[in-house]
C-alpha cells in the first residue's frame, strides 16, 4: 500500500467486510475468495463477523493492484506477495532433509578429525 492510500483510510482499528470491499473496489465475495487464495486470516467478532485491520486492507489493495492493474495471475500474485513478505526469522523454515544432510557431513568431519588425531598421537 502506498503512503497516500494509508492516509485516505479512516482512523479506526477494524473494518467490516462491506467497508473493505468498498475501499478496495471489489465485491465481498471476491475478498472472501482472496482470503482463501492468499491465506489471509481476518479477526472475527464474537458473532463471527470478519473484522479487518488497516494492514489487512493494505494487503487487499496490493492484491487488487497485482491482479487488476499489473495483470498477474493468482499464482503470480501469491509469489509476488511472498517475495515482499518479511524475511524468515533465523531457525525457521529450514528443511529437515537439509538438516539431516548437514548432520551427516558434521559427523563425517568429526570422524575424520578423530582419525587424524589418533594418527598424530601414535
The string of pLDDT tens digits covering residues 70-90 is 999 999 999 888 877 655 455
Do residues 58 and 109 both lie within one domain? no
- Could you give the angle at which helices 54-64 and 74-84 cross, rounded to 10 degrees? 130
Q: Where are the beta strands (DSSP E) in the chain?
A: 15-16, 43-44, 50-52
| Pairing mode, strands 50-52 and 43-44 | antiparallel
Count: domains in the chain: 2
What does the alpha-carbon distance between residue 118 and residue 115 come to, in Å, rounded to a whole number?
5
Q: Where are the beta strands (DSSP E) in 20-120?
A: 43-44, 50-52
Do residues 81 and 95 both lie within one domain? no
What percentage of the chain reaches a pLDDT higher than 90? 56
Mean pLDDT over each residue of the chain, to the nearest integer: 84
Do residues 12 and 64 both lie within one domain? yes
The whole domain housing 52 covers: 3-85
Amino acid at each position: 500500500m502506498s503512503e497516500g492510500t494509508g492516509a485516505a483510510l479512516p482512523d479506526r482499528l477494524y473494518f467490516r467486510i462491506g467497508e473493505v470491499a468498498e475501499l478496495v473496489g471489489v465485491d465481498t465475495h471476491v475478498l472472501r475468495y482472496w482470503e482463501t487464495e492468499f491465506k489471509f486470516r481476518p479477526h472475527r467478532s464474537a458473532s463471527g463477523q470478519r473484522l479487518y485491520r488497516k494492514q489487512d486492507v493494505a494487503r487487499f489493495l496490493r492484491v487488487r493492484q497485482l491482479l487488476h492493474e499489473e495483470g498477474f495471475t493468482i499464482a503470480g500474485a501469491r509469489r509476488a506477495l511472498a517475495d515482499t513478505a518479511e524475511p524468515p526469522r533465523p531457525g525457521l523454515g529450514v528443511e529437515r532433509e537439509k538438516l539431516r544432510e548437514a548432520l551427516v557431513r558434521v559427523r563425517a568431519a568429526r570422524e575424520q578429525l578423530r582419525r587424524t588425531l589418533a594418527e598424530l598421537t601414535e
